[in-house]
Amino acid sequence: MRDSEKKALSRREFGKAAAAVAGLSLVPTLLSARLQDPKPAPESAVEKSATASSEAPSEEALALAGIVKLRYGSRLNEEALKEITRSLDGTLKAAATLRKEPLENSDGPAVVFRAWRGEHD
């Protein structure tokens, strides 16, 4: 198995764990797809925004989990926070995947804002 394949596999395995609380899919199968990563991420992207290990969450995920704890800690036990942290790590990995695809300044969002004029005339 090539290194890149190992990496992709570990991301998927991690995704399975993160999926439990990821809150992103309508069939659970697809939960792990958030980490679908057809092209291996550059090491820098992985290091900066997500964990280098499939076991330990990244520092950024831990920091975000700290905010979740600050906001909602009174209703979350340690186990729940652990799961949320794993999920946050998955979210960050997904975002790292998105950042690998180049965008031009002119690539706008796939939504259209229209100025509104009510029927008051």
Partner 1 sequence: MIDDSVLFASAHDLGEQIRARKISPVELTEAYLAKLEGPGKRLGGVVTVTRDLALEQARRAEKEIRSGKIRSPIHGIPYGAKDLLATNGIPTTWGATPYKDQVFTYDATVIRRLEKAGAILLGKLAMVELAGGMGYRYASASITGAGKNPWNPGRWSGGSSSGSGVAVAGGFVGFAIGTETWGSITTPSSMCGISGIRPTYGRVSRQGAMALSWTMDKIGVMARSVADCGMVLSEIAGPDPADPSTMTKPWNYAPFGKKEKWRIGIVRKAWEKPEPEVPTAFEAAIQELGRIAVLQDVSLPELPFGATAGTLISAEVASAFEDLIESGRVSELADPGSRLGGYSSTMVYARDYLRALRLRAKLQRSLDDVLAKFDALVAPTLPGVASPLAANLEEVFAGDDPVGGAGNCCGIPAVSVPMGFGSDRLPLGIQFVGRAGEENRILAIAKAYQDRTRWHLERPPRENWT
Residue 103 interacts with partner 1 (CB under 8 A): yes or no: yes
* # residues contacting partner 1 (CB under 8 A): 50
Residue 27 interacts with partner 1 (CB under 8 A): yes or no: yes
Residue 109 interacts with partner 1 (CB under 8 A): yes or no: yes
Pick from 69, 14, 16: which is nearest to 46 by CA?
14
Q: Are 77 and 104 contacting, i.e. CB atoms less than 8 angstroms apart?
A: no
Measured CA angle at 89 (ends 84, 93), to 5 deg: 145
User: Which amino acid would we find at residue 30?
Assistant: L
Taken in order 64, 66, 70, 73, is the CA torsion positive or negative? positive
Nearer to partner 1, 3 or 119 (CB): 119
User: Which of positions 34-73 make contact with partner 1 (CB under 8 A)?
Assistant: 34-39, 64, 67-68, 71-72
Helix, coil or strand: residue 39: coil
Q: According to CB under 8 A, which one of 4, 5, 6, 28 is a site residue for partner 1?
A: 28
| Site for partner 1, rule CB under 8 A | 12, 16, 19-39, 64, 67-68, 71-72, 75-76, 80, 83-84, 87-88, 91, 94-95, 97-101, 103, 107-111, 114
